[in-house]
Structure 1
Amino acid sequence: MTPRTSAQGRSTAIDTATTSVEDYAKTIYGLAEWDGASVTASALAKTLGVSNPSVSLMMRKMSELGLVEHRPYAPLALTDAGRQLALAMVRRHRLIETWLVRELGYGWEEVHEEAERLEHAVSETFVNRLDVRLGHPRVDPHGDPIPGPDLQLDYPETQLLCRVPASVQVRLEQVDDAVPDALSTLDAHGVPIGAQVTVAATADGAVVLTTGGTVEKTSSEASAAEAGHSPASASIRLPHEVAHAMRVSVVH
């Protein structure tokens, strides 16, 4: 049986890329996306849920395709061709996630697996028309940048929330959708991507935020607002693993 491929209509010219190759390229890119960290075979295996020998076999295949620089015991690195393939898949995935949330009513915690399935089945024509339909969004529902048709993208200057000192106002730029508690906490307090919050305190890796008027109003707060009173600031305590899953920019 011929391996599935989503190369039809794609501008990356990697016509031999199967869905597995596409997934590996996208995952290697994603692991180093925000902080340029070295990507190891073991980290790749853990993220994809496969064995280390499986990763080694795929790296040899992708090296033969000119997609990765494969050296024994060295960090994994995409070639220029591999990066183009990865960005093409990132573009597909994030536009589909955005579409699912905006137009089909999915929650941001639901879209990853659905997008994983759909991204391999659609043509480049579909992806480009989806981009137009959505108004050329620059970020997906989790704040991750979406590459343009030329596969270029921009990242804001960010840092992990858990590393921000107290008394600093920040803007929420991105949340790691692989950490469900981070998504559910933000949902519970009505804090969206783009919200401005203040780091009120830090202790033992935990972070306390104050949100001002960012959170959704309770019935009493809504009544106060109607009466002309501003609602009190809300405090949110985030354990370290949740704060570590959020990236913010400092508001000057």
Structure 2
Amino acid sequence: MAPKASALGIDSTSVQDYVKTIYALSEWHDAPVTSSRLAARLAVANSSVSEMIRKLDDLGLVRHEPYRPVELTAGGRRLALAMVRRHRLLETFLVRELGYRWDEVHDEAELLEHTVSDTFIDRLDAKLGCPAADPHGDPIPTADGSITLPDALPLHRLDDGHFGRVARISDENPSLLRFLASEQIGIGSPVTVLQRKPFGGALQARVDIGHSARDLDLGDELTGAIWIESVGKHAGCSLVP
């Protein structure tokens, strides 16, 4: 079984937040995790990030060379996954049991994840039925520290005619989540890619809602935030590289 977050001997909230953010930036994307990306995500100065990266390096949680991307060590990844597990279980609890909307839970979970005990997290997991994913479709690590991402791609990478279901929606922008909720688009929604409008225009997609379907024009931010797990596709359809 993977070590608990507290058992790793890292009680600093800022250290926990940094390793969790480094993991989150690399979980769904191949882009290198740089100091500038960390500063933007955490809304702090680049100088603060550089200082913390040196501390994380000293603690053996990251590997970093000047002007190179930041990478988690095995120990850093274990701590990050322990914090991700806390965060996503808490988000799930807030939505299922306390009636929070999916655009409200991130900040609340950020506060709670540093205050509850490991025993609480394990009992919460059991109470919720050991959920596989949080309300946004992000996978929840198991108690032993393993995690399995769904076989999904962002909507903008799918070719015309491709059909699938929404597997994950980035929770980075609460306004985007509120918009999708207003359009009745959520995890599991069936989506078919119709066409891309010319000259860099919107992607047109058909979303099945209940017994009806609606065609929507989706911009770059939406098509990058919505991840689709394939169900099937029309003959001759292929993934956009």
Q: With structure 2 as the length reference, what TM-score do the two structures score?
A: 0.90
Equivalent residue of 1:211, what SS?
Answer: strand
Q: State the shift of 1:232 in Å.
A: 4.2
Paired residues of 2:10 and 2:16 also in contact (CA < 8 A) = no
- For residue 208 of structure 1, what is the amino acid of its counterpart? Q
Q: Which residue of 1 aligns with 2:21?
A: 27
Match 1:154 to one of 148, 162, 183: 148
Q: Unmatched 5+ residue regions in structure 1?
A: 1-8, 216-230
Residue 190 in structure 1 maps to residue 170 in structure 2: no
Question: Which runs of structure 2 are paired with 1:1-252 in the superposition (5 Å)?
Answer: 10=4, 13-203=7-197, 204=200, 206-212=202-208, 214-215=209-210, 231-252=211-232
For residues 106 and 149 of structure 1, the distance between their equivalents in structure 2, rounded to whole angstroms, comes to: 25
Q: State the shift of 1:185 in Å.
A: 2.8
For residues 232 and 123 of structure 1, the distance between their equivalents in structure 2, rounded to whole angstroms, comes to: 45
Give the structure with higher Rg (CA). 1
For residues 63 and 11 of structure 2, the distance between their equivalents in structure 1, rounded to whole angstroms, comes to: 16
Q: State the shift of 1:205 in Å.
A: 5.2
Q: State the shift of 1:249 in Å.
A: 1.7
Q: Which runs of 4+ in 1 moved over 4 A?
A: none
For residues 131 and 26 of structure 1, the distance between their equivalents in structure 2, rounded to whole angstroms, comes to: 19
Q: Equivalent pairs: percent with the same residue?
A: 47
Paired residues of 2:104 and 2:174 also in contact (CA < 8 A) = no
For residues 95 and 65 of structure 2, the distance between their equivalents in structure 1, rounded to whole angstroms, comes to: 40
For residues 211 and 240 of structure 1, the distance between their equivalents in structure 2, rounded to whole angstroms, comes to: 17
Paired residues of 1:70 and 1:77 also in contact (CA < 8 A) = yes
For residues 83 and 194 of structure 2, the distance between their equivalents in structure 1, rounded to whole angstroms, comes to: 39
Q: With structure 1 as the length reference, what TM-score do the two structures score?
A: 0.86
Cα distance 1:11–1:42, how it changes in 2: closer, same or farther (>3 A)?
Answer: closer
Paired residues of 1:93 and 1:119 also in contact (CA < 8 A) = yes
For residues 12 and 226 of structure 2, the distance between their equivalents in structure 1, rounded to whole angstroms, comes to: 32
Q: Unmatched 5+ residue regions in structure 2?
A: 233-241
- Please identify, of 174-183 and 69-78, the stretch whose mean Cα deviation from structure 2 is larger: 174-183
- Please identify, of 239-248 and 143-152, the stretch whose mean Cα deviation from structure 2 is larger: 239-248
- For residue 166 of structure 1, what is the amino acid of its counterpart? D
Paired residues of 2:5 and 2:83 also in contact (CA < 8 A) = no
For residues 154 and 91 of structure 1, the distance between their equivalents in structure 2, rounded to whole angstroms, comes to: 12
- For residue 242 of structure 1, what is the amino acid of its counterpart? L
- For residue 206 of structure 2, what is the amino acid of its counterpart? T
- C-alpha root-mean-square deviation of aligned residues, in Å? 1.5
For residues 169 and 140 of structure 2, the distance between their equivalents in structure 1, rounded to whole angstroms, comes to: 14
For residues 39 and 99 of structure 2, the distance between their equivalents in structure 1, rounded to whole angstroms, comes to: 32
Aligned length: 228
Q: Which residue of 1 aligns with 2:238?
A: none
